[in-house]
Amino acid sequence: MWGGFNTALEYTNTTEFCLSCHEMKVGEEWRESTHFQNPSGVTAGCPDCHVPKEWTAKVARKIAATSDLYYHILGTIDTPEKFEAKRPEMAERVWARMTASGSRECKNCHAYESMDFHNQSQRAQEKMQPASEKDTPCVECHTGLAHKRPPRDD
């Protein structure tokens, strides 16, 4: 039973699985982003940004993600138009979760302590060094990197 559960957990933790439902242009946006194609050839897929690596947090996130299935079945987000109408609300939830975790998933790849500030542009240095000192969650400044940024109230 444990093996089956863990296999299902890992299967649902792939970009291919995510895009099998999230066909509402988020895959296209991701493929046009630097998280998909960049000079280094390193790709960050859906789970890299949206699913914690730590097991307990991962399971909790997967359970919470079942709400997407619920809303799809209810017909709340089952067409591109309905999806776009709910997108700002869904994005706010993702941003709030990322802020609450201190942008934990971002920092799996973008650790402040590994940044070479002197090789960044002047503007990046001016922003990133103070953010590093305060351990600012990445998502406070960086939204719209892998997906189109829906309107935000602030």
* Binding-site residue ranges for a menaquinol: 68
Helix intervals (H) in the chain: 2-11, 15-21, 26-31, 46-50, 55-74, 80-100, 104-107, 122-134
The binding site for heme comprises: 18, 21, 24, 46, 49-50, 68, 106, 109-110, 138, 141-142, 147
- Rg over alpha carbons for the chain, rounded to the nearest Å, is 17
Tokens at residue 14, please? 């792939």
59 CA to centre of own chain: 16
Residue pair 82/75 in contact (Cβ under 8 Å)? The answer is yes
The binding site comprises: 18, 21, 24, 46, 49-50, 68, 106, 109-110, 138, 141-142, 147
